[in-house]
Chain A
Amino acid sequence: MKCKSARWYRVLPAGAACLMLSGCTREQFLVFNPAGPVGKIEMHLVILSMVLIGIVVVPVMLILWYIVHRFRDRPNNRAPYRPEWSENRTLEFIWWGIPIIIIGILAVNTVRDTFRLTRPPEPAGKPLTIHVTSLDWKWLFEYPDQKIATVNYCYIPTGRPIQFVLTADAPMNSFWVPQLGGQEYTMPGMAMRLWLQADKPGTYFGSGANFTGRGYAHMKFDVIATSDPEFSQWAAKVRQTAPALTRSGYTQLVKQSVVGRMSFSSFPPGLFQEIIMREGGMYMKHDISVLDNKA
Chain B
Amino acid sequence: MPDDTLNVSHFLVTGDPLIYGADVSIVVVSIAIVAVLTYYRKWGWLWREWLTTVDHKKIGIMYMIAALLMLFRGGVDALLMRTQLAFPNMRFLKAEHYNQIFTTHGTIMILFMAMPFIFAMMNIAIPLMIGARDVAFPYLNAISFWMFFFGAMLFNLSFVIGGSPDAGWTSYPPLAESEFNLGPGENYYLLALQISGIGSIATGINFFVTILKMRAPGMTLMRMPLFCWAVLATSVLIIFAFPVLTVALALLLIDRIAGAHFFTMLGGGNPMMYINMFWIWGHPEVYIVVLPAFGIFSEVVATFSGKRIFGYASMVASLMAIAVISYFTWLHHFFTMGAGPGVNSFFALSTMIIAIPTGVKIFNWLATMYNGRVRVTVPMKWALGFIPNFAVGGATGVMLSVAPADYQYHNSYFLIAHFHQTLIGGVVFGMLAGMYYWWPKMFGFLLEERYANWGFWWFNIGFYVCFIPQYLLGFMGMTRRIYTYPTGMGWSTLNLISTIGAFMMGLGFLFIAAGIVYSIFYGERDTTGDPWNGRTLEWSLPSPAPHYNFARIPVVTSRDAWWTMKEERKQGVLPPGRDELRPIHMPKNSGRPFILSLSFFVAGFGLVFHWYILTVIGFAAVAACLLLRSFDYDTDSYIPVDEIKKTEASYGRS
- Do chains A and B directly touch (beta carbons under 8 Å) in the complex? yes
Residues of A within 8 A of B (CB): 2, 5, 9-10, 12-13, 16-17, 19-21, 23-25, 28-32, 39, 41-43, 45-46, 49-50, 52-54, 56-57, 60-61, 63-64, 67-68, 71-73, 77, 79-88, 91-92, 95-96, 98-100, 103, 106-107, 109-111, 113-118, 136, 171-172, 174, 176, 178, 181-185, 187-190, 192-193, 205, 207-217, 220, 278-280, 283
Q: Give the docked Cα–Cα distance between A67 and B369 (Å).
A: 7
CB of B399 within 8 A of chain A?
A: yes
Q: A132 vs B96: C-alpha distance in the bound complex, in angstroms?
A: 27
CA–CA, A113 and B344, complex, Å: 11
**Neighbour of A184 across the interface among B336, B341, B345, CB < 8 A:** B336
- Give the docked Cα–Cα distance between A133 and B457 (Å): 48
Give A12's nearest chain B residue, CB to CB.
Answer: B461
B480 contacts chain A at the CB level, 8 A cutoff: yes
| Residue of A80, A91, A172, A174 touching B175 (CB-CB under 8 A) | A172
Contact stretch, chosen from B53-61, B193-201, B356-364: B356-364
Q: Are B265 and A189 within 8 A (Cβ)? A: yes
Asked if B490 and A28 make an inter-chain contact with CB atoms under 8 angstroms apart, the answer reads yes
Q: Which of B349, B398, B401, B485 has the most CB of A within 10 A?
A: B398
Determine if A114 and B336 form an interchain contact, defined as CB atoms under 8 angstroms apart: no
Contacting pair A103 B355 (CB below 8 A): yes
CB distance from B45 to the nearest CB of A (A): 42
Across the A-B interface, the 10 shortest Cβ-Cβ residue pairs: A182-B407, A28-B490, A171-B175, A53-B395, A23-B493, A217-B482, A86-B308, A95-B363, A73-B373, A209-B411
Is B338 located at the chain interface by the 8 A CB criterion?
A: yes
In whole angstroms, what is the CA distance A83 to B460 when docked?
A: 30
Known: A85-B371, A92-B314. A110 touches B464 (CB 8 A): no
Residue of A20, A88, A208 ringed by the most chain B CB atoms within 10 A: A20
Residue from A30, A115, A171 in contact with B475 in the complex, judged by beta carbons closer than 8 Å: A30
A56 and B476 alpha carbons, distance in the complex (Å): 26
Docked Cα-Cα span, A210 to B482, in Å, equals 10
Q: Are A187 and B272 in contact (CB under 8 A)?
A: yes
B336 touches A182 (CB 8 A): yes
Chain A residues within an 8 Å CB radius of B349: 107, 110-111
Check A72/B376 contact, CB under 8 A, given A30-B477, A67-B366, A84-B308: yes
Could you say which residues of chain A place their CB within 8 Å of the CB of B336? 174, 182-185
B360: which of A17, A46, A99, A109 is its contact (CB, 8 Å)?
Answer: A99
Whether the pair A80, B371 counts as a contact (CB closer than 8 A) is yes
Q: Given A84-B308, A174-B336, A189-B265, list of 19 further CB < 8 A pairs?
A: A16-B465, A16-B468, A30-B475, A31-B477, A46-B399, A60-B366, A61-B391, A82-B307, A86-B307, A92-B364, A103-B353, A103-B398, A172-B175, A183-B336, A185-B334, A188-B265, A205-B477, A214-B95, A283-B270
Residues of B within 8 A of A41 (CB): 404
Q: Is the CB of B356 within 8 A of A96?
A: yes
* B172 partner residues in chain A, CB cutoff 8 A: 171-172, 210-211
Contacts of B92 in A (CB 8 A): none
Query: Looking at the complex, which one of A49, A79, A83, A88 makes contact with B306 (CB distance below 8 Å)?
Result: A83
Given contacts A68-B374, A114-B345, A182-B408, contact A16 B95 (CB under 8 A): no
**Can you list 29 pairs linking A and B with CB atoms under 8 Å apart?**
A5-B457, A17-B468, A20-B472, A21-B472, A24-B490, A25-B490, A31-B477, A32-B475, A43-B408, A46-B399, A46-B408, A49-B402, A60-B391, A64-B366, A80-B371, A82-B307, A86-B308, A86-B368, A171-B180, A174-B410, A183-B336, A188-B174, A188-B265, A211-B172, A213-B180, A214-B95, A214-B99, A217-B95, A220-B486
Q: Which residues of B361-409 have CB atoms within 8 Å of chain A's CB atoms? A: 362-364, 366-376, 384-385, 387-388, 391-392, 395-396, 398-399, 401-408
Q: Which of chain A's residues have a CB closer than 8 A to the CB of B479?
A: 176, 207-209
Report, as a range, how many residues of chain B touch the other chain.
Answer: 35 or more
> B408 to A29, Cβ gap below 8 A?
no
Those of B160-196 within 8 Å (CB) of chain A: 166-168, 172-175, 180
In the complex, how many residue pairs between chain A and chain B have their CB atoms under 8 Å apart?
305
Do A29 and B475 touch (CB < 8 A)?
A: yes
* Bound: A114/B403 CA distance, A: 7
Output the nearest chain A residue to B365 by Cβ-Cβ distance.
A64
B382 CB to nearest chain A CB (Å): 13
Q: Is B497 an interface residue (CB 8 A)?
A: yes
CB of A83 within 8 A of CB of B367, answer no
Closest CB-CB distance, B95 to chain A, in whole Å?
Answer: 5
Please tell me if the beta carbons of B476 and A24 are within 8 angstroms of each other in the complex.
yes
CB of B647 within 8 A of chain A? no
Complexed CA–CA distance, A25 and B489 (Å): 10
Cα A95 to Cα B357 in complex, Å, equals: 10
Question: Please, how many angstroms separate the alpha-carbon atoms of A217 and B479 in the complex?
Answer: 9
Residues of chain A within 8 A of B485, CB atoms compared: 217
The one of B175, B271, B356, B363 in contact with A213, judged by C-beta atoms closer than 8 angstroms, is: B175
Known A30-B475, A85-B308, A205-B477; judge A280-B366 contact (CB<8 A). Answer: no
Name the B residues within 8 Å of A57 (CB-CB): 391-392, 395
Contact partner, B367, options A52, A54, A88, Cβ 8 Å: A88
A187 and B271 within 8 A (CB): yes
Task: Pick the contact of A95: B341, B360, B468 (CB < 8 A).
Answer: B360
Residues of B within 8 A of A210 (CB): 172, 411
- CB <8 Å contact, A92 and B311: yes
Q: Which of B268, B355, B411, B489 contacts A28 (CB 8 A)?
A: B489
Closest CB in chain B relative to A177 CB, distance in Å: 9
> Contact: B404 with A172, CB < 8 Å?
no
CA gap between A42 and B310 in the complex, in Å: 39
* CB of B552 within 8 Å of the partner chain: no
Tell me if B476 and A30 are in contact (CB < 8 A). yes
- Asked whether B494 is an interface residue with its Cβ less than 8 Å from the other chain, the reply is yes
Instruction: Say yes or no: is B610 at the interface (Cβ < 8 Å to chain A).
Output: no
Alpha-carbon separation in the docked complex, A17 to B406 (Å): 23
The answer to whether A182 and B410 touch across the interface, beta carbons within 8 angstroms, is: yes
Known: A42-B407, A217-B483. A106 touches B371 (CB 8 A): no
Kindly state the separation between the CA atoms of A178 and B375 in the bound complex, as whole angstroms: 47
Q: Which of A172, A174, A181, A283 contacts B271 (CB 8 A)?
A: A172
A21 to B472, CA, bound (A): 9
| Contact of B212 with A by CB under 8 A | no
A188 contact set on B, CB distance < 8 A: 174, 265, 271
Contacts of B519 in A (CB 8 A): none
CA A183 to CA B571, docked complex, whole Å: 66
Evaluate contact between A178 and B408: CB separation under 8 angstroms: yes
Q: With a CB–CB cut-off of 8 A, which chain A residues contact B457?
A: 5, 9
For A212, what are the chain B residues with a Cβ–Cβ distance below 8 Å? 175
Interface pair A211/B175, CB less than 8 Å apart = yes
In contact, A56 and B395 (Cβ under 8 angstroms): yes
Tell me if A49 and B493 are in contact (CB < 8 A): no
Chain B residues near A60 (CB, 8 Å)?
A: 362-363, 366, 387-388, 391
Q: Are A280 and B175 in contact (CB under 8 A)?
A: no
Across-interface contacts of B489 in A (CB, < 8 A): 28, 205
- Asked if B266 is an interface residue, CB under 8 A from chain A, the answer is yes
